[in-house]
Amino acid sequence: MAPGQICKVIIGAGPSGSIAGALLRNKGYHVTIREHQRFPRFSIGESLLPQCMEFIQQAVMMETGVHGGFEYKDGVSFVYRNRQTEFSFEDKFTAGIGTAFQVQRDGFDNLLASEAVRKSIDIQWQMEVIAVDFTGDKSKLKTRDEAG
Ligand SMILES: Cc1cc2nc3c(=O)[nH]c(=O)nc-3n(C[C@H](O)[C@H](O)[C@H](O)COP(=O)(O)OP(=O)(O)OC[C@H]3O[C@@H](n4cnc5c(N)ncnc54)[C@H](O)[C@@H]3O)c2cc1C
**What is the per-residue pLDDT for 134?**
94
37 or 1: which leads in pLDDT: 37
- Rounded Cα distance between 64 and 52, Å, is 13
Express each pLDDT in 78-93 by its tens digit.
999 999 999 999 999 9
Residue 65 has pLDDT above 80, yes or no: no
Query: Ligand 1: which of 9, 33, 44 to mutate, judged by most atoms within 8 Å of the beta carbon?
Result: 44
Distance of CA 57 to the CA centre of its chain: 12
Q: Decide: 125 and 38 in contact? Cβ < 8 Å.
A: yes
Structural domain includes residue 1 = no
**What is the per-residue pLDDT for 4?**
67
**What is the per-residue pLDDT for 132?**
97
| Structural domain boundaries enclosing 68 | 7-145
Structural domain includes residue 21 = yes
Whole-number Å distance, alpha carbon 15 to ligand 1 midpoint, is: 8
**What is the per-residue pLDDT for 3?**
66
Express each pLDDT in 11-21 by its tens digit.
999 999 999 99
Structural domain includes residue 2 = no
Number of domains in the chain: 1
Whole-number Å distance, alpha carbon 143 to ligand 1 midpoint, is: 20
Give me the CATH number covering residue 115. Answer: 3.50.50.60
Q: Is the pTM of this model over 0.85?
A: yes
Q: What percent of the chain has pLDDT over 70?
A: 96
**What is the per-residue pLDDT for 98?**
93
Other residues' Cβ atoms within 10 Å of the Cβ of residue 147: 5
